[in-house]
Structure 1
Amino acid sequence: MNSTDQTTAVTAVVDSLGDAWARGDADAYAAHFTEDATYVTFVGTHYQGRRDIAESHRALFAGFLKGTKLTYELLDVRFLGPDVAVLTTRGDNHKGAAPKKLPKVQTYTLVREGERWLIAAFQNTRRKALMERLTFRFAPETRPAARR
């Protein structure tokens, strides 16, 4: 499998994850994760394992995330070997039209189990744009090289 095919395979996992989210299907959502996956939300809640991810999302999809969708843009894909990939995205959940600015940054660590890619770890961080701008203004050397 060439690198384009590998990238397509791992980004398809995030696309499918979004489809399960849009359906409000907690079991299908959690099926994208390894049995022992770690999942950290933007508020710092740590979930451990597929069952914990499914149960928490079952409650979320029945409550304040009901009827929402996920939107993301891919920032980076890196393969750390033939069976490990790290995806970095910018994204958010929303109702209605997708937001123009995506305020969260996510890191997905995927592992290949047989022919299937699964998420072993997920980290979601809300960007603090004002703090970021202030930091870059007063310490410009902290600005990421891609943004200089």
Structure 2
Amino acid sequence: MDATEAIDVTMSGIEASWSAGDARAFAALHAPTATYLAFDGTLMIGRHEIESGHAPLFRGIMRGSRLVSWDRHVRLVSPDVAVATQKGGIIMRWQGDRATPSAKRVSANTTVLVRDGDRWVVTAFQNTRYRPWAQTLVGRVMTRSTR
């Protein structure tokens, strides 16, 4: 398996462990000293904080939710370091069989992965809500070209 395929295994594992509500499995896909920056600015450092930060979410508001992603681009920085960017979002349990998250739950993510033996683990993750300024009313008005 090449690096890109192995990275896809890790990224798919992130989605699967989230969707299973398994905070321990989710955290295990991160390096022991990983940095995780959530959409709201919450910073978690290390597997323990990532697990303990997600466990109450998976038992509470995020129970039964599904994580999905698309538009992933992976760039190998070196043979042992990769940067993945993608869009992703959460489909809440009450949204049923929906295939894509609602617009308010879409984020853009940057994930830095490192090779750990024969697998890849997340060493840094940053999540930003996807709200392109140019698509807002003010953004459209301010970027409109003059005639």
| TM class, shorter-length | 0.7 to 0.9
Q: What's the CA shift for 1:113?
A: 1.2
- The answer for the alignment partner of 2:12 in structure 1 is 15
2:104 is the counterpart of 1:107:
no
Structure 2 CA distance, aligned partners of 1:136 and 1:29?
42
Structure 2 CA distance, aligned partners of 1:19 and 1:136?
41
Q: In the alignment, which of 58, 69, 75 is matched to residue 72 of structure 1?
A: 69
Structure 2 CA distance, aligned partners of 1:9 and 1:24?
23
Q: What's the CA shift for 1:90?
A: 0.2
TM-score (normalised: structure 1): 0.84
Counterpart secondary structure, 2:73: strand
Counterpart secondary structure, 1:27: helix
Would you identify which runs of 4 or more consecutive aligned residues in structure 1 move more than 4 Å?
A: none
Gaps of 5+ in 2: none
Structure 1 CA distance, aligned partners of 2:140 and 2:124?
28
Structure 1 CA distance, aligned partners of 2:126 and 2:57?
17
CA distance 1:137–1:70, change in 2 (3 Å):
same
Gaps of 5+ in 1: 141-148
- The answer for the alignment partner of 1:146 in structure 2 is none
Q: In the alignment, which of 34, 45, 49 is matched to residue 52 of structure 1?
A: 49
Identical columns (%)? 37
Q: What's the CA shift for 1:103?
A: 2.0
Superposed CA RMSD: 2.0
